[in-house]
């Protein structure tokens, strides 16, 4: 890439950062107006909030490692530090309307570290597919609103896992969609894919446990089983992710979470509405702060490299 091209790419990344912050703040501002009074009345247990945040960050670390393993399985190398910077910064793209910006950002930053853009994009898409499918399996396994009892739940989990098993066939088509010739990229071994599935399932459980601690930090004395929290959190998160018009799932995840928490008797409708918005603010802070730090560090490194190269 020429010096002019590098400068243009750096400017584009700064514009990307500004856009995602604007979208995130605008969306969250509307929700604050709706339940601001309820949020102001909360007296959080900050120790529990810290524990919830720690569990969430551990879950993110697992997802980063899963993505890095997919890249390694496709024949590329990416250091953990670089992978975490790329994942944290690129993940912010979900706050911009459209579902492709995270993948575009991650592919561009990975390419700057010597990873094939096709592998980076393909691995990101596959990681998202695995994560959503694993989340669906976790919801079913936790018994969330599944008619027919445990037999039906077991059958659904089996079907989902069988679908995950077809990923080695599906990956080449994903890579073609990324704009490269699939036959030139090594398909990750089945063992790597299964490891990624396990990692994704573990991440959903940790995220749900973090959410449960957050609820209890906001509303001491709140009850409910662990499985109910796993089902409510995971199902609502997936609903937000699958909504193509909702940046970061904002405006979709919250109503879904209110419905799930009410049906599973985790909270009243009013309390669930407050929790939905409070948890959105909390999760956005957890994503924005390290994500923007990672992006700023990446851009500073990039600017230094551009200056050295003229």
Spatial CB neighbours of 19, under 8 Å, sequence gap ≥ 6: 96
Q: How confident is the model at residue 107 (pLDDT cuts 50, 70, 90)?
A: confident
Most confident of 170-174, 180-184, 245-249, 254-258: 254-258
Residues 118, 179: contact at Cβ < 8 Å?
A: yes
- The whole-number pLDDT of residue 208 equals 97
How confident is the model over 35-49, as a mean pLDDT?
Answer: 73
- Residue 221 has a pLDDT of 81
pLDDT tier for residue 146 given thresholds of 50, 70 and 90: low
pLDDT score at 150:
57
pLDDT (mean) for 229-240:
92
Contact call for residues 253 and 237 (beta carbons, < 8 A):
yes
Q: Check residue 97 and give its pLDDT.
A: 67
How many angstroms separate the CA atoms of 59 and 250, rounded? 21
Q: Span 62-77, mean pLDDT? A: 91
pLDDT of res. 4: 56
Contacts of 197 (CB under 8 A, 6+ apart): 130, 133, 134, 161, 164
Q: Please tell me the predicted confidence (pLDDT) of residue 157.
A: 63
H or E, element range at 124: helix 117-141
The number of CA neighbours under 13 Å toward the Cβ of 49 is 16
Supply the mean pLDDT for the chain. Answer: 77
- d(C-alpha 108, C-alpha 12), whole Å: 11
Average pLDDT over residues 19-37: 54
- What's the mean pLDDT in 174-200? 70
Q: Does 201 score more than 90 pLDDT?
A: yes
Which of 204-216 are b and which e, b meaning 16 or more Cβ less than 10 Å from the residue's Cβ? bbbbbbbbbbbbb
What is the pTM (predicted TM-score) of this model? 0.79
pLDDT score for 227: 92
- Is the confidence at residue 207, as pLDDT, over 90? yes
Our CA angle for 149, 154, 158, nearest 5°, is 150
């Amino acid at each position: 890439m020429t010096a002019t091209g590098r400068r243009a790419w750096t400017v584009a990344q700064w514009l990307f950062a500004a856009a995602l912050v604007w979208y995130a703040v605008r969306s969250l501002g509307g929700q604050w107006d709706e339940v601001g009074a309820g949020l102001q009345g909360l007296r959080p247990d900050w120790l529990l909030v810290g524990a919830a945040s720690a569990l969430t960050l551990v879950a993110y670390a697992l997802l980063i490692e899963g993505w890095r393993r997919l890249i390694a399985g496709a024949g590329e190398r990416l250091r953990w530090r670089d992978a975490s910077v790329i994942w944290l910064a690129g993940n912010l793209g979900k706050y911009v309307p459209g579902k492709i910006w995270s993948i575009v950002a991650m592919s561009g930053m990975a390419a700057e570290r010597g990873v094939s853009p096709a592998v980076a994009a393909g691995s990101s898409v596959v990681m998202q597919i695995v994560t959503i499918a694993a989340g669906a399996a976790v919801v079913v396994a936790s018994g969330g609103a599944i008619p027919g009892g445990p037999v039906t739940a077991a059958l659904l989990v089996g079907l989902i896992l069988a679908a995950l098993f077809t990923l080695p066939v599906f990956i080449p088509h994903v890579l073609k969609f990324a704009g490269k010739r699939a036959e030139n990229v090594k398909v990750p071994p089945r063992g790597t894919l299964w490891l990624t599935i396990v990692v994704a399932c573990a991440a959903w459980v940790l995220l749900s446990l973090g959410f449960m601690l957050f609820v209890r930090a906001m509303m001491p004395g709140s009850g409910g089983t662990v499985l109910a929290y796993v089902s409510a959190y995971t199902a609502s998160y997936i609903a937000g992710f699958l909504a193509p018009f909702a940046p970061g799932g904002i405006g979709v995840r919250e109503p879904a979470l209110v419905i799930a928490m009410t049906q599973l008797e985790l909270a009243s409708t009013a309390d669930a509405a407050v929790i939905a918005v409070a948890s959105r603010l909390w999760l956005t802070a957890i994503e924005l702060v390290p994500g923007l730090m990672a992006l700023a560090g990446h851009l500073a490194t990039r600017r230094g490299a551009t200056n050295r190269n003229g």
